């Protein structure tokens, strides 16, 4: 029989199903005292509409595995960072045509205003060309920006650094 952690860690993200909640860094803790299981998750963005779906998926798969007393807790601190996406998660993103985030910005002191486009070291996840251009800083989910590759001409999503 799998442990509650193994079961929870295999649940995938509703919006980016190539990633498990564990690979995304959203799964923070799984506590099992023998009677009940408490799973702790954290939202990526404040407005993440997927938290309820994640919670329902976790309860369902753990129930199927025989853990019938499951509680899912949501924590806000520390705030999620794209740095928490695992190496395996980054490979999964690339394998599905998404560009993985670079290191999240480290801030000491006030946040500085940036009036020029965000510069990133992004390569096309299909042909690995570095000749890419951003088409929109905002994409279909809060966590992605839209790019286009000038070499293979394919558009792709880049998971933003946050």
Partner 1 sequence: MTDTTDNPYEGLYGGDASHWAFGTGFEDPLATLGDTRVPEGVDPRDLAAYAVMLADDALVLSHRLSEWCSNAPDLEEDVALANVALDLLGQARLLYARAATIDPESVPGVPDGSPVPAEDAYAFFRDAGEFRNVGLVERCDEDFADAVVRLLLVASWRLAVMERLRAGSDPVLAAVAAKAVKELAYHRDYAGRWVVTLARGTEESRRRVQAARERVWRWRAELGATHPVEERVAQAGAGVDPAAVDDEVDAVLRQVWDAGDLDVPPREAVPAPRGRDGHHTDALTDLLEEMQSVARAHPLGRW
Residue ranges in contact with partner 1 by CB under 8 A: 43, 45-49, 51-53, 56, 59-60, 63-64, 71-80, 110-111, 113-118, 135-140, 142, 146, 162
6 or 137: CB nearest partner 1: 137
Q: How many CB atoms lie within 10 A of CB 87?
A: 9
62 or 149: CB nearest partner 1: 62
86 or 141: CB nearest partner 1: 141
In whole angstroms, the minimum distance from the beta carbon of 48 to partner 1 comes to: 7
In whole angstroms, the minimum distance from the beta carbon of 123 to partner 1 comes to: 22
In whole angstroms, the minimum distance from the beta carbon of 85 to partner 1 comes to: 15
In whole angstroms, the minimum distance from the beta carbon of 126 to partner 1 comes to: 22
66 or 88: CB nearest partner 1: 66
């Amino acid at each position: 029989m799998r442990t509650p952690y193994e079961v929870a860690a295999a649940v995938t993200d509703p919006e980016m199903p190539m990633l498990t909640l564990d690979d995304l860094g959203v799964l923070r803790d799984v506590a099992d005292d023998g009677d009940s299981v408490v799973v702790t998750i954290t939202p990526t963005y404040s407005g993440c509409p997927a938290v309820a779906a994640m919670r329902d998926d976790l309860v369902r798969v753990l129930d199927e595995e025989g853990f019938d007393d499951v509680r899912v807790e949501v924590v806000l601190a520390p705030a999620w960072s794209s740095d928490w996406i695992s190496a395996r998660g980054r490979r999964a993103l690339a394998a599905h045509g998404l560009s993985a985030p670079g290191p999240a910005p480290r801030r000491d002191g006030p946040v500085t205003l940036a009036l020029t486009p965000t510069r990133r070291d992004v390569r096309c996840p299909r042909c690995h060309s570095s000749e890419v251009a951003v088409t929109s800083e905002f994409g279909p989910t809060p966590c992605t920006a839209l790019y286009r590759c000038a070499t293979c001409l394919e558009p792709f999503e880049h998971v933003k650094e946050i």
